[in-house]
Amino acid sequence: MTQATHSPQPLPAGYLTAAAPATLLERMAHTLPVFTCPVRINTNEDRAALAAEALWLFAQRTGLAQDGESIETVLIDFMADVMHLCEQTALNPAEGDVLGDITRHAALHYEMDLSEQGEG
């Protein structure tokens, strides 16, 4: 199968803020190869693009995929839904600090990713 890819286009300086439009997620997501599973992750930009791809799908499904909505709004709604998912699984956020534990563990992974690429 032939891989279709999108060429990453640089984003304007200062454009990546919490108030950036949700539609920026689509642009970030399109830096990854299309129809490749699993996608090859080489850089932290790739990791961000993979997260953007997932959030862009969420934004589309929830009606947040428009310039009037911010990435921050998409993230807040997504995290709230993750909390609902945890509640309906063995990862119940009402029992202790499960979400906090997961967030701290994710932060460790993030810090390792930064140090591996010399950013931290």
Structure tokens at 120: 């931290």
pLDDT average, residue stretch 103-117: 93
Model confidence band, residue 24 (pLDDT cutoffs 50, 70, 90)? confident
Q: Taking phi first (over 0 means left), then psi (-120 to 50 degrees means alpha), and beta for anything else, what does residue 46 get? A: alpha
What per-residue confidence (pLDDT) applies to 17? Answer: 66
Residue 28 has pLDDT above 50, yes or no: yes
| Phi and psi at residue 70, to the nearest 5° | -95, 160
pTM: 0.76
d(CA 57, CA 116): 29
Q: Are 75 and 55 in contact (CB under 8 A)?
A: yes
d(CA 47, CA 64): 22
- 77 three-state secondary structure: helix
H-type alpha helices, the chain: 24-29, 44-62, 71-87, 98-116
What per-residue confidence (pLDDT) applies to 18? Answer: 63
Structure tokens at 21: 């439009």
Residue 78 has pLDDT above 90, yes or no: yes
